[in-house]
Amino acid sequence: MKMYNNYFQHLRGALSSKKLISTYTIVLFTCFCLTSAIGQTAKSPQEGLARSSRLFQTLQKRDSLLFELAFNQQNAKGTDSLLHEDFEFYHDQGGLTDSKEKFLGKFKSTKNAKYKPLRKLLKNTLQVFPLYNRGKLYAAIQKGVHEFYMVDPEKKAHLTGNAKFVHLWVKHKDRWCLKRVLSYDHQEAKK
């Protein structure tokens, strides 16, 4: 008991003296340094999920399949299975496509063109951010940067531009469906 009394007397003395300010300053400085160091080693929330994560890999495959079918092959039937029934596409130059049917209908007008479109995802730009509702994964945001090419009849690809995209993938009947697309910041290729 005597030991505790000595401790409390020492504490009262420290609290009533200028030592408290010095001690308080040291504690605050130490906490600041520790949180700064932890922040430097922690992954930035802007990086999204690790590329090795299952969700990242799943949505990366869905993205590749989507653009292979929709953009490169202009395969409306194959693309249909990847899209949510309530699909919407927002484009900074082409405007709003407010239904899945209208989006798929655009393939008919370009399917037999002389030059074929080609999309390539820029390396290391793809990011995935999971969305939870009370701890249950229900959707994910996927974003990245891609380049567009036109392939001529001799199979030569000509860069036409690049753009950024944001996709909202939702879990629908145990599969990932693309529900919203934002396609923006389109830049023409420099000649």
Residue range 131-140, pLDDT digits in tens: 999 999 999 9
User: Is the per-residue pLDDT at 82 higher than 50?
Assistant: yes
Give the pLDDT confidence of 28-62 residue by residue, as tens digits. Answer: 333 333 333 333 333 445 678 999 999 999 999 99
pLDDT surpassing 80 at residue 146: yes
How many residues appear in the chain? 191
| 99 contacts 84 by C-beta, under 8 angstroms | no
Q: Are residues 76 and 113 in the same domain?
A: yes
Task: Write out the chain in H/E/C secondary structure.
Answer: CHHHHHHHHHHHHHHHCCHHHHHHHHHHHHHHHHHHHHHHHCCCHHHCCCCCCHHHHHHHHHHHHHHHHHHHCCCHHHHHCCEEEEEEEEECCCEEECCHHHHHHHHHHHCCCCCEEEEEECCCCCEEEEEEECCEEEEEEEEEEEEEEEECCCCCEEEEEEEEEEEEEEEECCEEEEEEEEEEEEEECCC
pLDDT(108) > 50: yes
Range of the domain at 140: 46-188
Q: Are residues 142 and 56 in the same domain?
A: yes
CATH value at residue 168: 3.10.450.50
pLDDT at 92: 97
**81 with 162, same domain?**
yes
Task: Say whether pTM exceeds 0.75.
Answer: no
Q: Same domain, yes or no, for 104 and 35? A: no
On whether both 11 and 101 belong to a single domain, the answer is no
Predicted local distance difference test score (pLDDT) of residue 43: 45
More confident residue, 190 or 62: 62
The structural domain count of the chain equals: 2
Q: Are residues 167 and 143 in the same domain?
A: yes
In this structure, the answer to whether residues 146 and 166 fall within a common structural domain is yes
pLDDT at 109: 64
